[in-house]
Amino acid sequence: MATPRRAAWGFLAPFFVLFTLFTVYPLARAAVLAVQQTYGPGTERFVGLDNFKALAADPLFWKAVRNTTVYTTTTVLIQLPLSLLFAMMLNRPGLRGRAFYRLVFFSPALVGVVFVGMIFGVIFEKRTGLLNQFLHAVIGWDLDFPWMQNYVMPSLVIATLWQYMGYNMIYFLAALQNVPRELTEASEIDGAGPVRRFVSVTWPSIRPVATFVILLSVIGSFQLFELPWVLLNSAAGPDNRGLTVVMYLYQRGFETGDLGYASAIGWMLGMLLVVCAVVQRRLSRGEESV
Amino acid sequence: MNAGSSKVRGWAALVSTHAVLVPAAVLVGAPFVWLVCAALKRNEDFFTSTFLPGGDGFLGVEWGRVTFEHFGRLLFELGLGRAMLNSIFLSSTTAVLATVISAMGGYALAKFEFRGRKLAQGIVLAAIIIPPPLLIAPGFQWLFQLGLLDSFAGLILPAIAPAFGVYLFRQAALSSVPGALIEAARLDGCGEGRIFFGIALPLMRPMIGAFILLTFLGTWNNFISPQVVMQSPGKFPLAVAIAQLKSTYYQDYGLLMAGTLVSVIPLMMLFLVLQKEFIAGLTSGAVKG
């Protein structure tokens, strides 16, 4: 019979073997690749920090960074308050049909980004698309409003909102259900209004989850690729308005064939995400000490 | 304030909540309804009606104009059945293997004392923040050298050791597998493998359901990895096949929407079956911390 210690490593072995082979080793290769110029997977040439120097001066790269940042900020700022609002509505005591609403709001999250892109590609059409027809019927919106032609970023935000509002709502709902009801009731008896109750009772108890959801959304949004790729027919759209960091990585690595340059972009993205995580940590810790 | 007026207020609040929720649910549901209709329309009807072609039939629809021709073309002309099988194979294999490997790793981290445990835990936590796009270029080069490009193994092997899964199962094992039970089984002379598969695994069942679905979903919807790794169209999963369809048949809207519909339906059905476990598992990592 194996000793427990040996058994522990036995249980961990499959994970660590595959993890070393397909995560640690490629990660090390990513570091090597970033200082090389390559032509496809076979030939490479050492170029030192030239890739990073070129990136710093690459207007397309900065355009991609700007687009991705704008997308991330807008989706997070619009989506998360909405998700929280809907979670609070679903959490109302005595609400009928909660399971049904939850199912409807959550279901778009099951649809993969590629498929969301397929659906919204037709929904965003001028004149014939569902969105313009709906807005036209309700508020007399311009039927020829050029969503994907001129308003790439708003289109991306709308499609994302549809896809992930309910997904984030699920997290908030789970957190809200953990807020002890006596606490809200007590503050209600004390005469606290809804705003006061939210600030002093609800928000403090759901903050850890909110922090988690924000970080998750930021990390996910920074990796945006498939949605504009499919919506804009395998390209970056007019004037590169739909170019994102990962799309640029893909274009340089697999269309131009320079895996070295693509790796450098990957590292920049990695650093960007680490900065986000650190800032977010700091912010949530700073709040705690106040 | 008397009890009656607060009851009325509560009732009014519920009504106003529904007054927001119902239109919101209609808005969120509309693209689904529209998708189903779009997949069932002939191309000449595609733009003349928003949902289904109008007429004198039931619900004001001319049911005679509803067609299944797009599904037939997808299946018989365009070989989408193959892509569907590829997706099913890739997603289920990845989901089952990733779940078993993660469950074993998480269980070991949660329930064993051994030298190097802290380090192993640290590695798992650190690995969660590695952004997948960083590994695309070097991973592609590595698979090329291993001769695994354009193979299912090249997609499956890198996907079945997820650090996030190990972390989730560590949480699950900590909260739902009692140490005393393991000790008792050991005293009875039970082997470690039997303890894991016979006792620990069944106790972690909710997380297993959630993680299988989560991984299945992620693999099914993954685009960039198969787009990079696979080269022969016969090996494409649905996400890649459908995106390719769009560049070839970009004007054939009915066909595209039918393809999208059949790609989405299997996930919906799987989710309806595993809904409860999935939502519980999804939120357990965040809420329990």
User: Which residue in A122, A213, A222 is closest to B38 by CB distance?
Assistant: A122
User: Which residue in B10, B14, B135 is closest to A27 by CB distance?
Assistant: B135
| Residues of A with Cβ-Cβ distance to B223 under 8 angstroms | 112-114, 225-226, 229
For an interface test with A, which of B141, B149, B256 has the most A Cβ atoms less than 10 Å from its Cβ? B141
pLDDT at residue A1 in the model: 44
Alpha carbons within 13 A on the beta-carbon side of B88 = 10
Q: Total structural domains in chain A? A: 1
Q: Which domain holds residue A277?
A: 46-289
For an interface test with A, which of B33, B156, B260 has the most A Cβ atoms less than 10 Å from its Cβ? B260
Q: What is the pLDDT of residues B7-24, one digit of tens each?
A: 777 788 888 999 999 999
pLDDT at residue A173 in the model: 92
Q: What is the pLDDT of residues B238-253, one digit of tens each?
A: 999 999 998 888 888 8
A3 inside domain: no
- Give pLDDT tens digits along chain A (290 positions): 456 788 899 999 999 999 999 999 999 999 999 999 888 666 788 888 999 999 999 999 999 999 999 999 999 999 999 999 999 999 988 888 998 999 999 999 999 999 999 999 999 988 888 899 899 988 988 888 999 888 999 999 999 999 999 999 999 998 898 888 788 778 878 887 888 888 888 888 888 888 889 988 999 999 999 999 999 988 888 889 999 999 999 999 999 989 999 999 999 999 998 888 888 778 776 555 43
**The tokens of B83 are what?**
């892509």
Q: What is the pLDDT of residues B60-86, one digit of tens each?
A: 677 777 888 899 999 888 889 999 999
CATH of the domain at A159: 1.10.3720.10
**B118 touching A (Cβ < 8 Å):** no
pLDDT at residue A234 in the model: 86
A2 inside domain: no
| CB-CB under 8 Å, A30 with B137 | yes
A26 inside domain: no
**B264 touching A (Cβ < 8 Å):** yes
Residue of chain B with shortest Cα separation from A228: B243
User: Which residue in A26, A89, A250 is closest to B138 by CB distance?
Assistant: A26
Residue of chain B with shortest Cα separation from A166: B28
Measured in angstroms, the CA of B119 and the nearest CA of chain A are apart by 12
Q: What is the mean pLDDT of each run of 10 residues along chain B (289 residues)?
A: 66 89 95 92 79 72 81 89 96 97 96 92 90 92 94 97 94 91 92 93 89 92 95 95 88 91 92 82 60
pLDDT at residue B289 in the model: 40
**B139 touching A (Cβ < 8 Å):** yes
| CB-CB under 8 Å, A112 with B135 | no
**B229 touching A (Cβ < 8 Å):** no
A85 inside domain: yes
Query: Which DSSP category does A236 fall into?
Result: -
Residue found under tokens 């659906």: A119
Could you tell me the CATH superfamily of domain B71-287? MetI-like (1.10.3720.10)
Question: What's the predicted TM-score (pTM) here?
Answer: 0.89
Residue found under tokens 């393991």: B182
pLDDT at residue A233 in the model: 87
Query: Which DSSP category does A129 fall into?
Result: S
Its ipTM equals: 0.88
| Residues of B with Cβ-Cβ distance to A178 under 8 angstroms | 287
